[in-house]
Chain A
Amino acid sequence: MTMIFGIPLQAFLGQLLIGLINGSFYALLSLGLAVIFGLLRVINFAHGVQYMLGAFAAMLMLQYFGINYWFALILSPLVVGLFGAVIERFLLSRLYKLDHLYGLLFTFGLALTLEGTFRYLYGASGQPYAVPAQLAGGTNLGFMFLPIYRGWVVVVSLLACIGTWLLIEKTKLGSYLRAATENPVLVQAFGVNVPVLLTFTYALGAGLAAFAGVLAAPVYQVSPLMGSNIIIVVFAVVVVGGMGSIMGAILTGYMLGIAEGLTKVFYPEASNIVIFVIMAIVLLLRPAGLFGRDA
């Protein structure tokens, strides 16, 4: 049997694929964070909670209204995006003229409050959410047994990442967004409603997090803690990728997912710190991140 670094090739390929699956969640989440930071200059600590809300929205929709996974995949991001828009409009937008730290503290407080509320209502263990029947089961790839749902996660999140990148880098709306960040006063003078653009951006970021949440619901328990479990890793991804760099966030998400997956084979005990070790090294050598421009 072919061996790579002392483990069989088949096992190695399996782990690589699993890294890619986890990387998909990291990429989707860090993408939303990067969009919000890049355009609003807000360090959105509520991102993990928005992810959690996405999963809960899907579960509650199923429980109370019988709305299935496919509709939840669209509806839940809309609901959470709307919630994000309300938060941005009435609370967050008041903090833009202050130091970034205020935005961070506000979203952090919001995250703690919401997480605490859900923990009070639903307990910490979380609730199950079934894999949709169309995606149940798995297929044997020869080197590993791939649950179809996980394959779907990789494909869909890749599409969502590319779509968002195209929206911001290649469309007219995206160019307004980018211009509004560079010079809001000038863009406003051209007749573009900048505050609405910013609200839309925050809602987009929140919606992306919720989308990831719905994708994650069948894989993990829908639990109030799911957001805080992942948010710190996602921040590390954004830092490694370069704050504000959208493509950087996507690529780094996948890369770190794979790095983490491989650590689980070679030295499992270190699997929850490997991302932070990489972050420390990157910050030492390239303080602006792998894909960031020096500020």
Chain B
Amino acid sequence: MRKTLLASLALVLASSTAFAQNATGTASDNKIKIGILNDQSGVYADFGGKSSVEAAKMAIEEFGGKVLGMPIEIVDADHQNKPDIASNIARQWYDTEQVDAIMELTTSSVALAVQAVAKEKKKIDIVTGAATTDLTGKACSPYGFHWAYDTHALAVGTGGALVKQGGDSWFFLTADYAFGYSLEQQTGDFVKANGGTIAGSVRHPLSSTDFSSFLLQAQSSGAKVIGLANAGLDTSNAIKQAAEFGIVQGGQRLAALLFTLAEVHGLGLEAAQGLTLTEGYYWNRDDQSREFAKKFFERTNKMPNMIHTGTYSAVRQYLKAVEKAGTDETEAVAKAIHEMPVDDVFAQGGTVAKNGRMIHDMYLLQVKKPDESKEAWDYFDVLDTIPGKEAYMDPAKSGCDLVN
């Protein structure tokens, strides 16, 4: 009996590896304080993670560490992809640590939870890490912004490209939470609107290690395209295992709907070659993007993807808005963010819609073959530029009550 008791204790212990990193820093009023809240240890840690904190610091350093004479501080924490942990940290930051804005917010379920907290407390949040369009739809906030990308842009970009190439029947492997549903639904709608059909879908738990069962179901569905409506390590594992089960050789195509430079790096060009994906930024696109990437690389030893650069852009724009508003008061800063165009290394001629969506161009990218890659991290060919107006949902149709 004692043995089993111990064993169950062991399991309880293990399942609560919970280790929230405590935010550091002291409370003060005459300060601008930015919180970066993201996954720093789990399935999305390379997607943004600690490197995003460096990106945020780069933006702060451009301002000389001060705005309106007030020092700028930064705090960061690991939310472990758990909405409850994230909400608690957000409350603590907004209430007792005088954090003015929370950014990044990887994982849609987390972003939705924190945006609700921010709205209730009349504070700013800028989401760069999460994808669901609900953030600027039914869950929109007058002080909430969605910066880097969203499920609609991914559906239009990657989904659109594959449908054009004749991929007219789809089977989805979907991560079993808000983001996955949103991505599956919007890609599915887009495919159907273009005359395609949906052969079926299967939902897998977040951070699965083995996809073979799901892949086998996708294989036997006979669909031309297998849409991976998941992200991070989940997508990498699914792609790797799809190769093992001869899915691509069998004539089916994989659509990694949310896949960035960081995951391609982890997967290696050998396994990733030929994949089509959509990002809001690619480091090796022009001189400006290369210059930023080089600086980022010196600090983090990796090239930035759209999440890292998006966080940089969000912090920079927030600080510019504080400067323009002449205060860190929420209403005034939110108004300034809505009014100012976004022009930086991430977005050129970006605009912020009433529902909080930052509308900017997206890029349709294809992963190079190993022998086409000229240097380390030279992974993509830019196939197409998708204008912001096409990539993002018309704000009037977003379901956000802030848009009349």
Q: Do A and B come from one complex?
A: yes
B47: nearest chain-A partner, CB-CB: A125
B241 cross-chain contacts in A, Cβ below 8 A = 219
Q: Interface centre among B10, B176, B262, by most A CB within 10 Å?
A: B10
Q: Interface centre among B42, B49, B240, by most A CB within 10 Å?
A: B240
B204 contacts A268, CB within 8 Å? yes
**Which one of B183-191, B229-237, B358-366 is at the interface?**
B229-237
**Which one of B126-134, B160-168, B206-214 is at the interface?**
B206-214
B6 contacts A100, CB within 8 Å? yes
B11 contacts A239, CB within 8 Å? yes
Binary flags per residue of B210-222, CB closer than 8 Å to A gives 1, else 0? 1011101101100
| Contact of A230 (CB < 8 Å), options: B42, B43, B46, B209 | B209
Do A232 and B233 contact each other (CB < 8 Å), given the known contacts A124-B41, A128-B267? no
B271 cross-chain contacts in A, Cβ below 8 A = 128
| Contact of B213 (CB < 8 Å), options: A128, A229, A265 | A265
A283 contacts B4, CB within 8 Å? yes
Range of interface residues on B (Cβ < 8 Å): 35 or more
Q: SS class of chain B's interface: helix, strand, loop or mixed?
A: helix
| Contact of A128 (CB < 8 Å), options: B2, B42, B202, B240 | B240
Do A14 and B10 contact each other (CB < 8 Å), given the known contacts A147-B245, A220-B209, A228-B17? no
| Contact of B207 (CB < 8 Å), options: A14, A229, A261 | A229
A11: nearest chain-B partner, CB-CB: B220
A243 contacts B7, CB within 8 Å? yes
B11 contacts A126, CB within 8 Å? no
User: Quick check: is B288 within 8 A (CB to CB) of the other chain?
Assistant: no
A126 contacts B233, CB within 8 Å? yes
Do A144 and B216 contact each other (CB < 8 Å), given the known contacts A125-B232, A221-B266, A272-B205? yes
| Contact of A18 (CB < 8 Å), options: B13, B176, B216 | B216
Q: How far is the CA of A288 from the CA of B376 in the complex (A)?
A: 55
Q: How far is the CA of A229 from the CA of B237 in the complex (A)?
A: 13
Range of interface residues on A (Cβ < 8 Å): 35 or more
Do A43 and B6 contact each other (CB < 8 Å), given the known contacts A11-B220, A124-B46, A128-B268? yes
B236 contacts A221, CB within 8 Å? yes
Q: Which of B4-21 contact A (CB under 8 A)?
A: 4, 6-11, 13-15, 17, 19
B1 contacts A295, CB within 8 Å? yes
User: Quick check: is B397 within 8 A (CB to CB) of the other chain?
Assistant: no
User: Quick check: is B250 within 8 A (CB to CB) of the other chain?
Assistant: yes
A96 cross-chain contacts in B, Cβ below 8 A = none
A243 contacts B3, CB within 8 Å? yes
User: Quick check: is A181 within 8 A (CB to CB) of the other chain?
Assistant: no
B268 contacts A149, CB within 8 Å? no
| Contact of A126 (CB < 8 Å), options: B202, B210, B213, B266 | B266
B2: nearest chain-A partner, CB-CB: A295
B41 contacts A271, CB within 8 Å? no
B206: nearest chain-A partner, CB-CB: A272
User: Quick check: is B306 within 8 A (CB to CB) of the other chain?
Assistant: no
A235 cross-chain contacts in B, Cβ below 8 A = 7, 10-11, 14
A240: nearest chain-B partner, CB-CB: B7
B7 contacts A238, CB within 8 Å? yes
B176 contacts A269, CB within 8 Å? yes
User: Quick check: is B349 within 8 A (CB to CB) of the other chain?
Assistant: no
Binary flags per residue of B66-79, CB closer than 8 Å to A gives 1, else 0? 00000000000000
Do A232 and B15 contact each other (CB < 8 Å), given the known contacts A145-B250, A288-B4, A295-B2? yes
Do A18 and B10 contact each other (CB < 8 Å), given the known contacts A131-B244, A145-B250? no
B219 cross-chain contacts in A, Cβ below 8 A = 145
Do A14 and B216 contact each other (CB < 8 Å), given the known contacts A104-B10, A149-B244? yes
User: Quick check: is B265 within 8 A (CB to CB) of the other chain?
Assistant: yes
B11: nearest chain-A partner, CB-CB: A235
A130: nearest chain-B partner, CB-CB: B270
User: Quick check: is A203 within 8 A (CB to CB) of the other chain?
Assistant: no
A243 cross-chain contacts in B, Cβ below 8 A = 3-4, 6-7
B42 cross-chain contacts in A, Cβ below 8 A = 124, 225
B8 contacts A268, CB within 8 Å? no
A144 cross-chain contacts in B, Cβ below 8 A = 216
B212 contacts A268, CB within 8 Å? no
Q: How far is the CA of A18 from the CA of B209 in the complex (A)?
A: 13
A100: nearest chain-B partner, CB-CB: B6
Q: Interface centre among A10, A21, A271, by most B CB within 10 Å?
A: A271
User: How far does the Cβ of A230 sit from chain B's closest Cβ, in whole Å?
Assistant: 7
A279: nearest chain-B partner, CB-CB: B11
A101 cross-chain contacts in B, Cβ below 8 A = 6, 9
B251 cross-chain contacts in A, Cβ below 8 A = none
B46 cross-chain contacts in A, Cβ below 8 A = 123-125
Binary flags per residue of B278-295, CB closer than 8 Å to A gives 1, else 0? 000000000000000000
Q: Which of B246-277 contact A (CB under 8 A)?
A: 246, 250, 262-263, 265-268, 270-271
Q: How far is the CA of A155 from the CA of B214 in the complex (A)?
A: 23
B205 contacts A125, CB within 8 Å? no
Q: Which of A115-167 contact B (CB under 8 A)?
A: 119, 123-128, 130-131, 138, 144-145, 147, 149-150
User: Quick check: is B45 within 8 A (CB to CB) of the other chain?
Assistant: yes
User: Quick check: is B122 within 8 A (CB to CB) of the other chain?
Assistant: no
Q: How far is the CA of A101 from the CA of B9 in the complex (A)?
A: 9
Do A271 and B13 contact each other (CB < 8 Å), given the known contacts A283-B4, A295-B3? no
Closest 7 CB pairs of A and B: A125-B266, A124-B45, A264-B213, A125-B46, A272-B205, A128-B268, A147-B244
19 contacts between A and B (CB under 8 A): A8-B220, A11-B220, A18-B212, A43-B10, A104-B9, A112-B19, A124-B49, A125-B232, A125-B262, A125-B265, A126-B236, A127-B266, A128-B268, A144-B216, A145-B245, A149-B244, A219-B241, A295-B1, A295-B2
